[in-house]
Chains A and B, each alone.
Chain A
Amino acid sequence: MNVTSGSRVEVRLPSRLGFEKVAMSTAAGMAKLMGFSEDRIEDLKTAVAEACINAMEHGNQMNASIPVSVVLSMKPDELEVKVMDNGAGMETPAPTPDIDRKMSGEEEARGMGMFLIQALVDEAEWVSGTGTDEQSFVRLVIRMNKENE
């Protein structure tokens, strides 16, 4: 298949846990077409799944009738993924999980999604929507060759 920069795919998911795997598989398929390495594809899969789960849980409050929109755009040597929801947006930056605090019960065991996203992709930004016409979204960029490697 001849893959050109500029190709774009959109996926709309019901806000129901498990459907994040549809976006994850789509992102992995596109990255494979672009020639990403297996380890970069695994990073991408986890980041996309976590972004979709956050959008379902925190953005759309698990209302299955409100979709999470995922737009994947191929660019030269990078894939951009935007995950949109109807929530108020997320606060950034995500704190680094403190395993000692989690083990002692001072910190919730959950709440690692944003940290993982930031750690696994090259760029991650959370943008708060201003109303019904402008959705909140997270924009992820993953490059063929990870920076600082």
Chain B
Amino acid sequence: MQTANKVSQQQLTGASGQQVTCLRFTGDVSSLSKDAIVGTYQALDKAVHKCILLDFKGVEYLNSSGIALVIQVLMEANKSGQTVAISGLTPHFTKVFTMVGITKYATLYPDEAAALSAL
């Protein structure tokens, strides 16, 4: 019943010239996505990947357990001094992420292009 969650990683450059590591998620983001989301993030060298963009454009289903995994990434990134930005959320999940307070620790952008132009 769960659509497999896949993550692809790409190095991009923000408008300021800084390197941005984009993690693009597809499929379901739920409690079963821990390895894909947290595992992929933890495999990044924190000294190299200072700015992370989490892109949800390809996500078909997201629930509170999936949001908790995003918070786990934010916790670790915060401790490591990394910047995290989020893009590609639907208007509904932009509202939900705002309701739970994620915007205090990560800026939300409508899409990847908007994020890169601000980073």
Contacts and interface: CB of A to CB of B under 8 A. Distances in A.
A115 B101 CA distance: 12
B7 interface: no
B74 A110 contact: no
Contacts of A46: 63, 92, 96
Contacts of B28: 18
A140 interface: no
Interface size class, chain A: 20 to 34
Given A17-B32, A19-B1, A21-B1, A99 B64 contact: no
A102 B90 contact: no
B68 A109 contact: yes
Contacts of A20: 63
A110 B75 contact: no
A27 B92 CA distance: 17
A97 B101 contact: yes
Given A53-B65, A109-B68, A116-B99, A17 B31 contact: yes
Contacts, number: 73
A109 B61 contact: no
A50 B100 CA distance: 15
B72 interface: yes
B63 A53 contact: yes
Closest 8 CB pairs of A and B: A18-B1, A99-B101, A42-B92, A109-B68, A18-B2, A110-B68, A109-B71, A112-B64
16 contacts: A18-B2, A18-B32, A20-B63, A39-B92, A49-B63, A99-B101, A103-B74, A103-B105, A105-B75, A108-B68, A109-B72, A109-B75, A112-B64, A112-B67, A116-B99, A116-B100
